[in-house]
Amino acid sequence: MSQKCSISSSPASAASSAPPPSQKRNRQALRDDFTARSSRHRQQVVRLSARLRKTEWARLLVFLAMPTLAWHGYENGFAPWLWLAFGGCLALFVALVRRHAGLRERIAHQQHRDTLNQWALARLDRRFDDLPACPTSLRPLFDKQDLDINLFGPASLGQLLFSQSTSLGDERIAAWLTLPATTAQLAERQAAIAELAERRSLRQVLAAHALQINARGYGLGRLAAWVVRVDAGVFPPAQVVLGLLATLASLGGVVAVLAGVVPPLALLACIVVNLMFYGWRAKAWHKVFDGADDTADALGGLSDWLALAVTQRFDSAGLSRQVARLQADGRAPAAAIRQLDGILGYARLRHNPTVSVFAQALLLWDFHCARALARWKREQCRRLPEWLEVVAELEALAAFAGLADENPGWCRAEAIGEAEIHAEAASHPLIHPERAVANPIDLVPGRVTVITGSNMSGKTTYMRTVALNLRLAQAGSVVAARHFAFGRMRMVSSISVSDSLEQGLSYFMSEVMQVKAVIDTVRQAAEPVLYLLDELLKGTNEKERNLAIIEILRALCAHKALGMLTTHNVALATAPELQGLGRNIYFEEGFEEGEAQALRFNYQLRHGISRNTNAIRLLRSMGVLKGD
């Protein structure tokens, strides 16, 4: 009769790897703060929503009052008081419309801040299903090995960092995660991240403005491309003079007709000239708007973001320099963005066919809007890319600062001159800190660490622990360890392999191609390389696999690469040829005998080679195999 078993972590291991009480208190304090902030923002939404409803009723009443006054005037004559009342209602209606728009923006801002705090709570508990997915637009920036180590994709490091920034900020975060920083950049980023980690409210307000920019899926990169695009030949001097004269003539014609100085036909002639001019040049004018029209919902958030950032004072050199870039030339970036928003607001009148016809006929509306927009581009074409660069830089720093703020047990990594990795109590950044098991890391050039252990014992998770913490350290971020020292190096891996019907590749050939890519990288790299090899060459027989792996590791060590290999194969781990190339470490599990058998993992590294196996017992425990 078969016996069932359960799988769990060892209580002993949980106790040995549990975070210190102070860290638990810090995490609880974080949870309490985010919960309180979320509650306050929800209360603000309720209060502002009540004011919004009152404003809507007032706007409706004023709107109904205007035709009532007009009808009364039509029936009884327009007395002066009636004109004043009508004008007052019109002014009040405009004010209520503006107030309504302002309240909607404030409600959206409070909702965004509530959302940010809910996401912060989800990040604390590593509830990845409650976090936004990684932006699909960033997928081309990550290669296959980035997905293998959970740098991008579902339940990844990217989910802890992305979606709190504009598209520019997310792209900068992706660049930092995939391109190691220089020593000077590391020191500057670490200081900036440490300072921003203490400015939680500032980070959340900036992130709320970013969510406003992202609300309609707008990418600020398009704004940067639009502002540097040259609109040559759109406004030749002669045509500018003609447009100005035609506008003055039509306005003068309106005044003259109302004064009875000229007949209406004179005004009609001006209108015909304007419409002919519009029909001739409208296509060229509208090219100026291309790429800017869809910025409407983004510019308000961008101006608010810049207005807040430019007033900040920081101690770190990196942050201070970014603010100084916004203050260069004595120009206020937020005011310039609001000016652009105003121009585009006027330009959107052309999307209303009824009103647009009169506006073009009397005022050549699109001509003047396009000229104003082209003038704005000429004045700001050098400044706007600089401002957007600051947005990207500060948002990336803020995202990593949030990671530091929300993980009080993590440490600042130490950059060293040697191409080595040494860590104390390093854990997987994506596992809940109260469940993650910490282990040491020691990797040096020309040596390989062979990791053995049975199924599910933690070998691949440990490999990803090394990879993710190294990527964080190379970006300037804090890392999930008590101490983490690293040198500058590249990283290559062969962790997840699959066959490809599309490319006509068998599983083994896919493995061979991945291994070749690793070896080619090591041979051609100008800097040291860290390699991570998970269960290499599973698609062939054991004898040839062992011989091939030994030769591969010899070649890698000969090029002074450093890395790790995981394997179930005890014969490979004990091969005499490998003993001089590195060291053996392993994970083990315990299997409790009895009617209720339990397979227990402690995920703690040990020196030596694991000789345990658990495949048959696992298959029996799941009911796949039967037997005693």
- The strand pairing partners of 532, in sequence order, are 493, 564
Beta carbons within 10 angstroms of residue 498's beta carbon = 8
Dist CA 522 CA 529 (whole Å): 6
Q: In this predicted structure, what is the pLDDT of residue 623? A: 60
C-alpha pair distances (Å), 501 with each of 50, 143, 437, 497: 59, 20, 39, 13
Sorted by sequence, the CB contacts under 8 Å of residue 351 that are 6+ apart come out as: none
- Give the H/E segment covering residue 148: helix 144-148
Q: Which helix (H) or strand (E) holds 477?
A: none
pLDDT top residue among 155 and 330: 155
State the average pLDDT over residues 332-350.
87
Burial 262-298 (b: 16+ CB within 10 A, else e): eeeeebeebbebbeebbeebbeebeebbeebebbeeb
**CA gap 335, 465 in Å, rounded:** 46
pLDDT exceeds cutoff 50 at 4:
no
Reply yes or no on whether the pLDDT at 542 is more than 50.
yes
What is d(CA 26, CA 404) in angstroms, rounded to the nearest whole number? 12
> CA-CA distance, 595 to 141, in Å (whole number)?
52
**Token reading at 108:** 């959206």
Q: What is the pLDDT of residue 153?
A: 93
Residue 362 reports pLDDT greater than 90: no
- 412-621 has CATH 3.40.50.300 classification: yes
Residue with tokens 């809507």: 56
Residue range 159-190, pLDDT digits in tens: 999 989 999 999 999 999 999 999 999 999 99
Judged by average pLDDT, the poorest of 250-264, 340-354, 513-527, 606-620 is: 606-620
Residue 132 CB-density burial (10 A; 0-12 exposed, 13-18 middle, 19+ buried): middle
Closest listed residue to residue 517, CA positions, set 228, 148, 154: 148
* 600, β-bridge pairs: 8, 590
Q: Where are the domains of the chain?
A: 31-118, 214-397, 412-621
Q: What is the pLDDT of residue 619?
A: 57
Share of the chain above pLDDT 90, in %: 47
Which pLDDT value is given to residue 591?
A: 56
Which amino acid type is present at position 62?
V
Please tell me the predicted confidence (pLDDT) of residue 579: 83
The answer to whether 412 touches 469, Cβ cutoff 8 Å, is: no
Distances (CA, A) of 190 to 340, 447, 476, 477, 535: 35, 30, 5, 6, 36
The number of beta carbons lying within 10 Å of the beta carbon of residue 500 is 12
Q: Facing residues of 6 across strands? A: 598
Reported as a pLDDT band with limits 50, 70 and 90, residue 12 is very low
DSSP string, 495-556: -----BTTTTB-HHHHHHHHHHHHHHHHHH-SS-EEEEEESTTTTS-HHHHHHHHHHHHHHH
Q: CB–CB of 223/384 below 8 Å?
A: yes
* Cα separations in angstroms, 264 against 185, 261, 356, 402, 601: 71, 10, 21, 67, 93
Residues 415-469: pLDDT tens digits? 999 999 999 999 999 999 989 999 999 999 999 999 987 767 788 899 999 999 9
CA 158 to chain CA mean position, Å: 8
Would you place residue 504 in the very low, low, confident or very high pLDDT band (cuts 50, 70, 90)?
very low
Give the C-alpha separation, 398 to 196, whole Å. 6
Contact 387, 326 (CB under 8 A): yes
pLDDT at 621: 60
- Residues 39-64 have a mean pLDDT of 94
Cβ partners under 8 Å of residue 590, min gap 6: 10, 599, 600, 602
Mean pLDDT of the chain: 85
Q: How many residues does the chain have?
A: 628
Query: How, if at all, do strands 448-452 and 562-567 pair?
Result: parallel
- Give the pLDDT score at 502: 43
d(C-alpha 365, C-alpha 274), whole Å = 10
Cα–Cα distance list, 107 to 45, 56, 487 (Å) = 5, 14, 48
User: Residue 452's beta-bridge partner residues?
Assistant: 567, 586
pLDDT number for residue 297: 67
**Mind listing the pLDDT tens digit for each residue in 223-261?**
888 888 767 667 888 888 888 888 888 888 878 877 777
Burial 353-371 (b: 16+ CB within 10 A, else e): eeebeebbbbbbbbbbbbb
pLDDT interval class at 9 (50, 70, 90)? very low
* pLDDT value of residue 14: 41
Q: Nearest CA to 105 among 195, 26, 212, 200? A: 212
d(CA 216, CA 298): 8
Which 3 state secondary structure label does DSSP give 495? coil
Fill in the amino acid letter for 463.
M
With bands split at pLDDT 50, 70 and 90, how would you rate the model's confidence at 592? low
Model pLDDT, residue 461: 92
pLDDT tens profile 72-106: 766 676 667 777 787 788 888 889 988 998 899 99
Return d(Cα 255, Cα 249) in angstroms, integer.
10
What is the rounded distance in angstroms from the CA atom of residue 470 to the CA atom of residue 473?
A: 5
DSSP H helices in 381-501:
383-406, 459-475
Mean pLDDT, range 541-568, rounded to an integer: 90
* 599 vs 317 pLDDT, higher one: 317
Q: Both tokens of residue 120?
A: 């912060």
Classified as helix, coil or strand, 63 is: helix
For residue 204, the model assigns a pLDDT of 97
More confident residue, 527 or 70: 527
**Model pLDDT, residue 554:** 93
Q: Which residue do the tokens 């998970």 mark?
A: 534
Q: Using an 8 Å Cβ cutoff, are 456 and 7 in contact?
A: yes
pLDDT digits (tens, 9 = 90+) for 97-147: 889 988 999 999 999 999 999 999 999 999 999 999 999 999 999 998 999
CA dist., res. 618 & res. 67, Å (int) = 80
Whether the per-residue pLDDT at 310 is higher than 60: the answer is yes
The kind and range of the H/E element at 606 are strand 606-607
Give SS3 for 622: coil
**The pLDDT of residue 616 is above 90:** no
pTM over 0.75: yes
